[in-house]
Amino acid sequence: MQPTVSARLPHLTSRLQGFGTTIFTEMTLLAQKYDAINLGQGFPNFEGPEVIREAAVSALRSGENQYCRMYGIPTLNAAVARHQQRFWGLEYEPETEITVTSGATEGLAATIQALCETGDEVVVFEPFYDSYRACIAMAGAVDRIYTLEAPEFRIEAERLEKTITAKTRAILLNTPHNPTGRVFTAAELEVVADLARRHDLIVISDEVYEHLVYDGEEHIPIATLPGMRQRTVAVSSAGKTFSFTGWKVGWTCAPPALTHAIRTAHQFLTFCMSPPFQAAIAVALDLEDEFFEQLRNEYAHRRDFLCKGLEDVGFDVLTPRGTYFVLADIRPLGWTDDVEFCRMLPAEVGVAAIPPTAFYVDKDAGRHLVRFAFCKTLDVLEEGLRRLDRLG
């Protein structure tokens, strides 16, 4: 069984046939079964700041437990606006341009449902986060794939332009990029922006790793490029930045007309997000700059630790500049197929990882790679590396 291709399921609509069970579910189950160190699914093994948890508890206790405003509690919409201003210099009006969603996942789903007609085409960059193509399919739209080629994973103008047709509605961008760890440069983003302006396209910009950039790299929201704010839907969430992936607090930022459309879909997908968690993330987004610096420094340290260890084991490591994932080439260790490798790993070595072909249509482009997550404490990374050493 391939991760994204599965046998025809009797009750499932044709739109969703072939999407199978997510690779995260499969690999985390394997990790549990074999008591493996889980460097697969991207969730921290540590808690986010106590002050944020306390804010959620106090909201729960003070009775913020009924349905709330469909597009977000006022304090969170306002906090998202302040955050966009403080870090990226972008002004968004909290009441008409910001929508709180159930994680970035629902933000993306609502956006795609709202903006794509049946048959519209959406350009996605492969390897892609796995929900993109399923959301596009559920909307009756069609994906057009641009392959980011290993090991550079660059956006090239000529090749990207070839994915655009008269039916293209949107380009779905993700920077910093899961799973490659690329932080796209201003020049690469300008390639996307130029196409969007010339072909009158929307850019859906998934920025959930906006704060996880290293080596002095800079995350550039595409909405900051000339003429782009008006055609960009920025999607982000609190999961990675504050280490509460299970809370699923996300948001979209887009001009009023786009936001109006997104809210129309959002109100029928989930209606509203849990108020206590919204209240807590409103506090989180206002944490002082030092919190965000420390987050980056700690992650840079974890990245260096894991990358060095993987190199010592014998992998060819593609050092990421952003996110909390690293791709490593398995060929120097005598392996050629990522799925085989990742299915062997939990039982034989006691470590779980993700086979990147789950994020590719063109499986050959990613078969030689494996993805490890470094959102783990150093002792866990160390134990993972100690076990992986058996491979060498």
> Would you call 83 exposed, middle or buried from its count of C-beta atoms within 10 A (0-12, 13-18, 19+)?
buried
Q: What phi and psi values does residue 159 have, to the nearest 5 degrees?
A: -70, -35
Of the two residues 250 and 309, which places its CB atom closer to ligand PMP in the complex? 250
Binding of ligand PMP at residue 245 (CB under 6 A)? yes
Binding of ligand PMP at residue 72 (CB under 6 A)? no
| Cβ at position 166, least distance to ligand PMP in Å | 28
**Which among 102-110, 188-196, 213-221, 326-334 is the span making contact with ligand PMP, rule CB under 6 A?**
102-110
Residues 158-167: contacts with CB under 8 Å, at least 24 apart: 160/123, 160/191, 160/192, 160/195, 161/195, 163/123, 164/123, 164/195, 164/199, 164/201, 165/121, 167/119, 167/120, 167/121, 167/142
Of the two residues 36 and 191, which places its CB atom closer to ligand GLN in the complex? 36
Q: Strands of 98-102's sheet, edge to edge?
A: 98-102, 249-253, 232-237, 202-206, 168-174, 121-126, 142-147
**Which one of ligand PMP, ligand GLN, none interacts with residue 174, CB within 5 to 8 A by kind?**
ligand PMP
If one counts every other C-beta atom within 10 angstroms of the C-beta of residue 50, the result is 8
**Which among 103-111, 197-205, 314-322, 375-383 is the span making contact with ligand PMP, rule CB under 6 A?**
103-111
Binding of ligand PMP at residue 210 (CB under 6 A)? no
- Binding to ligand GLN in span 157-186, by CB under 6 A: 178
Work out the angle at residue 282's Cα, subtended by the Cα atoms of residues 177 and 265, and round it to the nearest 5 degrees. 65
Among 15, 18, 24, 296, binds ligand GLN (CB under 6 A): 24
**Which one of ligand GLN, ligand PMP, none interacts with residue 248, CB within 5 to 8 A by kind?**
ligand PMP
Of the two residues 28 and 99, which places its CB atom closer to ligand GLN in the complex? 28
CA distance 151 to 335: 17
- Binding to ligand PMP in span 18-57, by CB under 6 A: 42
β-bridge partners, 252: 99, 235
SS (H, E, C) 164-203: CCCCEEEEEEECCCCCCCCCCCHHHHHHHHHHHHHHCCEE
Among 28, 105, 205, 232, binds ligand PMP (CB under 6 A): 105
Binding of ligand PMP at residue 180 (CB under 6 A)? no
Binding of ligand PMP at residue 237 (CB under 6 A)? yes
Among 84, 99, 113, 174, binds ligand PMP (CB under 6 A): 174
Look-up: residue for tokens 């080596």?
215
Among 103, 127, 275, 366, binds ligand PMP (CB under 6 A): 103
CA distance 293 to 183: 17
Among 20, 42, 94, 384, binds ligand GLN (CB under 6 A): 42
Burial letters for 343-366: b for 16+ Cβ neighbours within 10 Å, e otherwise? bebbeebbbbbbbbbbbbbebebb
Among 4, 41, 175, 237, binds ligand GLN (CB under 6 A): 41
> Would you call 329 exposed, middle or buried from its count of C-beta atoms within 10 A (0-12, 13-18, 19+)?
middle
> Taking the C-alpha atoms of 240, 243, 249 and 250 in order, what is their torsion angle to the nearest 10 degrees?
-10
Residue 179, preceding peptide bond in cis (omega within 30° of 0) = yes
Mark 264-293 with x for binding to ligand GLN (rule: CB under 6 A) and - for no binding.
------------------------------
| Cβ at position 275, least distance to ligand GLN in Å | 23
If one counts every other C-beta atom within 10 angstroms of the C-beta of residue 389, the result is 13
| Cβ at position 52, least distance to ligand GLN in Å | 20
Among 104, 183, 225, 345, binds ligand PMP (CB under 6 A): 104
| Cβ at position 128, least distance to ligand PMP in Å | 8
Of the two residues 28 and 350, which places its CB atom closer to ligand PMP in the complex? 28
Number of residues that bind ligand PMP (CB under 6 A): 14
Rule CB under 6 A: which residues touch ligand GLN?
Answer: 22, 24, 41-42, 178
Rule CB under 6 A: which residues touch ligand PMP?
Answer: 42, 103-105, 129, 174, 178, 206, 208, 237, 239, 245, 248, 250
